Amino acid sequence: MELRPATREEFDDYSRAALSAFHQERTETDRRRFEPIDEPERSLAWFDRGRIVATSGAFTRELTVPGAVLACAAVTAVAVVPTHRRRGLLTGMMRRQLDDLRERGDAVAILWASEGTIYGRFGYGIGARAAQLVARRPAARLAPTAAGEPLRAGPAAEHVEAMRATHDLVRPLRPGMLDRRGPWWNDRLFDPEGERRGAQPLQAVIAGDGYALYAVQPDAGEDEPAGEVRIRELVAATPAAHARLWAFLVDQDLTRTITWSLAPVDEPLWLALTDPRAVRVTVSDSLWVRLVDVAAALRARGYASDPDVVIEVADGFCAWNAGRYRLAEGGCERTEAAADLALDVADLGAAYLGGTTLRSLAAAGRVRELTPGAVARASAAFRGEVEPWCPETF
């Protein structure tokens, strides 16, 4: 068997193998979506007598972290076909991929996990969470909002420039968000009829420095209309824009439910409603983070206060990371000094975006405090001003 990148000419076989591992058949729609964003030079595939039986890849993206934006590897298409599981192919791919990322100089890798038990053993930790939001009309009502410039709404593709401007304004302020250069706005708006699940075409509404992407699924209902407003994304730079967008979305005639499957966990809609019980929120993991180069990753981000701590990092998969690091206002360097905290690289990745706290990881037994007060001091320093949020899967 051979492990190597899949070429552009092997895209069909590569994508077919990746999708088959998720029990999906590759279609022409898949080709139209994934071919423009494919980076074959960053792919890996196991070949068994010429047939692709396992895949992984990465996109070149920029990731917002507390106080900074840095290049990262957005890992994708990690799959092993059913006939070749339990043979170590996944471990071999992840080993090769992390070696390649280190050689490229990528300090951080991120991914969305199909199963929660897979990626911890490769050093990934849950760096961000997402909220599934369900609001019910007519109880979901906002207090009257201040008048502003007229709302603009219509087919999503007609409002790309306005949405791009708002996204570029908000992205540097929210850890977990990604850049959308090149084909990425087209990918975000991809809306084939076969994947709408009964909804109408994707729409956009613009309110000053805010926008929402949404689609409505009509439903006549047995006794009264019971349609659903499905939100794909809502981004607002100001509280006024946020309020006006929500006022519009919860006031769609002939609908009963408003849903958003990837909302930020600190979404304040419930605080804006006249009845806070009109919205239900369920939280789950979203973005997983892997520190490929611990020192470079810790130097790249900002801190709420001076951590002034020595961290002992265990890394059973990337031995080059294992050791002690002095993290202080002046930077992050290796040291032989006694450690104040000890943790696995996966847990450091979980805390990296400022959402999962070192204090909560310590309470779960995943961080060992070796110097009294070190957990509280480091946890406060790592904490971000807002919860990390990644509105898009990849």
CA distance 150 to 370: 58
Do 374 and 340 touch, CB atoms closer than 8 A?
yes
Catalytic residue flag (residue 394): yes
Do 342 and 376 touch, CB atoms closer than 8 A?
no
CA distance 113 to 118: 8
3-state DSSP assignment of residue 390: coil
The dihedrals phi and psi of 191, each to the nearest 5 degrees, come to -150, 60
Do 285 and 254 touch, CB atoms closer than 8 A?
no
138 preceded by cis ω (within 30°)? Answer: yes
Cα dihedral sign for 187, 188, 192, 197?
A: positive
| Annotated active-site residue in 14, 119, 122, 124 | 119
Query: Pairing relation of β-strands 68-80 and 210-217?
Result: unpaired
CA distance 197 to 218: 11
CA distance 357 to 366: 11
Output the DSSP codes for 204-258: EEE-SSEEEEEEEE----SSS--EEEEEEEEEESSHHHHHHHHHHHTT-TTEEEE
Q: Which residues are known to be catalytic?
A: 119, 394
